[in-house]
Structure 1
């Protein structure tokens, strides 16, 4: 009896590759690998983009903080230039007060009739007072002469009341001592007498702060 012929053997069972031929299995593996690589690349790109965004945010915050520090430093320097002489200026005001009192002690009739050395003395005092006022103004120090103005507690200090129904109540009618401001701050408030008895004056707005 002759032997039955065997069927030729194949390269392997297709079931071992999930039902796919070897070429198909290789193609699928390559496709999966390519997909994994693409997903990995996208994930890396997103990570780098997030890192760049974080670094940009940190940079902008640091830049803003540096700008704030620079502005604060500039303001402190400007304030030091403007208000650094405040203590010295207050002492100089005593000299201005003495000059004003010296001139105020001479009545107008005596000034008008002054001659010789006395006139020269009066002229010298007036010239010195004007020069002192100009020197103070050069350094941002201005004199406050509030007579006739509404009383402002930010600039004036009320020393007494004056019954006077002819002007609005709260109007400055006498100045006992001139005041001064330096920059936007009060160096010394004006000592004033305030009217009482007339119509109430409107309250002035805040114009300066204490030095």
Structure 2
């Protein structure tokens, strides 16, 4: 697996510091489980953070400190396993789902697209997306930021080619039409903060009906 696209350093640092919402933390954990380069960088970040803490003045703990630590241990960002399951499902995603990707019950979004909403809070949503080989999503931009990690297959858009493990960041600055590679279904994990804005009026109506 050759991974060419990675999250920004600021995202990785926020992940290591535990300053992320659960959805973004899970997509980061999923990428790290697939990318040795980013795992090594995250480990370095943790070492630097630990060294800084050693030199800091001790502070009194909050009364709920133990409960907060225990809750964090159950959060996606606390999952550091890298070995995938039998069908290749990344370990953090497998832990969140409670099963493999092969057991996902997809909802139809047209004849060649499927999705499952895994998390939603306000404008923030996390989904699994599946496109049949050669499927075009449609020209669109974003009302906020979208993070995508490729789990299987791949796709191409105006910014490049993305394969398993690759991490794409899309915002209002990017207008694109992702097209699934030929050969096998493309399955992605995506986190969006804000909806999609399609050029097609019909696609905008459909996206609104399905919560996109």
Q: TM-score range by the shorter chain?
A: under 0.3
| Structure having greater relative contact order (Cα 8 Å, sep ≥ 6) | 2
TM-score (normalizing by structure 2): 0.26
Q: Normalising by structure 1, what TM-score?
A: 0.26
If you compute each CA radius of gyration, which structure gives the higher value, 1 or 2? 1
Structure with the higher fraction of residues in helix conformation = 1
